[in-house]
């Protein structure tokens, strides 16, 4: 087990509850003798904190552990920035669902964090995706995603026509509202609402979910996680769709552009309390019926 001494804290902005949780956890860690570094964005809204401050990249370089306080969206942003540093990331849930941020901010929060710091945790490696957009063969933009890369109409209400290739092999030409390319981590997010399957986080696989396709025979496809996915936007149409990564970064595209999606070289080191159970989280967050042990 790793020794955690230098601990970074990242908090979701524009939330008084997050600020309260950051302050509480910060006091506890300092009292216990840990060295705490605040992300510079959350530090700006905490005047007089007197703490060491750094940007998220430096947190990745100097910290033994980074704690993200917020919702899954906050952790998605941190994951994209921190994965290449191989620093463990722990989430405290101050959002809604909390598939990734699984420590509750209740009276036992500090005890739960301390158990992790004492080595009582499980570690997962979650892979991310790289997306590269090319125009006339030249790269014009790129992005990364822990959950999903989505081609969608943007502000338009019209369908997109595109060709799909997997590992260089033509799959189909489709007219739809777009396509979701999701990791197992993202299978419980946007892909799930689009009718995709739930995939266990340890799977090395991708799921491709068409969004409202113009044919009843188009269904989600699960492929090897090492597959290269290529989407070519039909050059004959006059719609300008958007590629979004984790719903947080957005790139406008043009007819004829191509989007290539492949697994990122670096994985996120995500840690959970010892009692973490993926199926229990699904039962709780998705409202599955439970009977055993009730």
Our count of domains for the chain comes to 2
For residues 109 and 215, membership in a common domain is answered with: no
pLDDT at 292 (0 to 100): 60
Can you tell me the distance from the alpha carbon of 125 to that of 188, in angstroms, rounded to the nearest whole number?
A: 17
pLDDT at 1 (0 to 100): 61
pTM for the predicted model, two decimal places = 0.94
For residues 101 and 221, membership in a common domain is answered with: no
Q: Is residue 71 part of a domain?
A: yes
Rounded to the nearest integer, the mean pLDDT of the chain is: 94
> Would you call 268 exposed, middle or buried from its count of C-beta atoms within 10 A (0-12, 13-18, 19+)?
buried
Continuous H helices in the chain: 16-31, 40-43, 56-62, 72-82, 109-117, 190-193, 278-286
Residues 75/89, Cβ–Cβ less than 8 Å? yes
Residue where one domain finishes, among candidates 99, 119, 139 = 119
For residues 133 and 230, membership in a common domain is answered with: yes
pLDDT at 47 (0 to 100): 82
Q: Is residue 56 part of a domain?
A: yes
For residues 114 and 141, membership in a common domain is answered with: no
Residue where one domain finishes, among candidates 119, 145, 165 = 119
Is 177 known as a binding-site position? Answer: yes
For residues 100 and 136, membership in a common domain is answered with: no
Is 83 known as a binding-site position? Answer: no
Q: Is residue 272 part of a domain?
A: no
Closest CA to 115 of 277, 279, 280, 275: 275
Q: From the CA atom positions of the chain, what is the Rg in Å?
A: 20
Instruction: Look up 130 and say whether it is catalytic.
Output: no
Q: Domain containing 184: what range?
A: 129-265
CATH number at residue 96: 3.40.50.10330
- From the list 31, 39, 40, 72, the catalytic residue is 72
For residues 152 and 229, membership in a common domain is answered with: yes
For residues 17 and 143, membership in a common domain is answered with: no
For residues 109 and 134, membership in a common domain is answered with: no
Closest CA to 276 of 18, 104, 117, 81: 104
With the C-alpha atoms ordered 44, 82, 183, 113, is the resulting torsion angle positive or negative? negative
* pLDDT (tens digit per residue) in 121-152: 999 999 999 999 999 999 999 999 999 999 99
For residues 133 and 261, membership in a common domain is answered with: yes
Is 193 known as a binding-site position? Answer: yes
Write the CA distances from 125 to 9, 50, 73, integer angstroms.
Answer: 20, 34, 18
Write the CA distances from 207 to 21, 36, 95, 169, integer angstroms.
Answer: 36, 39, 25, 16
Q: Is residue 277 part of a domain?
A: no
**What torsion, rounded to 10 degrees, do the Cα atoms 55, 190, 247, 168 define?**
100
Q: Is residue 162 part of a domain?
A: yes
Q: Is residue 70 part of a domain?
A: yes
Is 189 known as a binding-site position? Answer: yes
Q: Is residue 203 part of a domain?
A: yes
Instruction: Kindly state the tokens that stand for 155.
Output: 């502000």
CATH number at residue 235: 2.60.200.30
Positions in the chain short of pLDDT 50 = none
For residues 57 and 161, membership in a common domain is answered with: no
Residues 218/210, Cβ–Cβ less than 8 Å? yes
Residue where one domain finishes, among candidates 84, 119, 154 = 119
pLDDT at 291 (0 to 100): 66
Closest CA to 253 of 230, 233, 236, 237: 233
Residue 135 bridge partners (DSSP): 138
Of the chain, the percentage scoring pLDDT greater than 70 comes to: 98
For residues 37 and 16, membership in a common domain is answered with: yes
For residues 146 and 252, membership in a common domain is answered with: yes
Residue 23 bridge partners (DSSP): none
Tell me if residue 18 falls in helix, strand or coil. helix
Is 52 known as a binding-site position? Answer: no
Q: Is residue 184 part of a domain?
A: yes
Is 148 known as a binding-site position? Answer: yes
Query: Phi and psi at residue 186, in whole multiples of 5°?
Result: -80, -5
């Amino acid at each position: 087990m790793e020794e955690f001494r230098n601990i970074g804290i990242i908090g979701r902005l524009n939330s008084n509850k997050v600020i309260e949780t950051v302050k509480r956890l910060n006091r506890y860690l300092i009292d216990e003798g840990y060295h705490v570094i605040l992300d510079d964005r959350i530090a700006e809204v905490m005047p007089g904190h007197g703490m060491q401050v750094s940007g998220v990249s430096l947190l990745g370089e100097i910290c033994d552990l980074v704690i993200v306080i917020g919702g899954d969206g906050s952790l998605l942003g941190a994951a994209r920035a921190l994965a290449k540093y191989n620093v463990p990331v722990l989430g405290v849930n101050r959002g809604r669902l909390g598939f990734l941020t699984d420590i509750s901010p209740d009276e036992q929060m500090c005890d739960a964090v301390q158990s992790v710091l004492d080595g009582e945790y499980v570690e997962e490696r979650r892979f991310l995706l790289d997306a590269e957009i090319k125009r006339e063969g030249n790269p014009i933009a790129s992005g990364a995603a822990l959950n999903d890369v989505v081609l969608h109409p943007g502000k338009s209400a019209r369908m997109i026509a595109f060709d799909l290739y997997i590992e260089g092999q033509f799959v189909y030409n489709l007219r739809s509202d777009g396509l979701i390319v999701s990791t197992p981590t993202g299978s419980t997010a946007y892909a799930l609402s689009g009718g995709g399957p739930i995939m266990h986080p340890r799977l090395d696989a991708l799921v491709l979910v068409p969004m409202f396709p113009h044919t009843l025979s188009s269904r989600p496809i699960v492929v090897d996680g090492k597959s290269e996915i290529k989407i070519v936007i039909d050059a004959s149409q006059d719609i300008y769709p958007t590629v979004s990564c984790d719903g947080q970064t957005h790139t406008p595209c043009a007819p004829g552009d191509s989007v290539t999606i492949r697994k990122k070289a670096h994985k996120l080191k995500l840690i959970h309390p010892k009692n973490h159970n993926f199926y229990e989280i699904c039962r709780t967050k998705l409202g599955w019926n439970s009977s055993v042990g009730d």
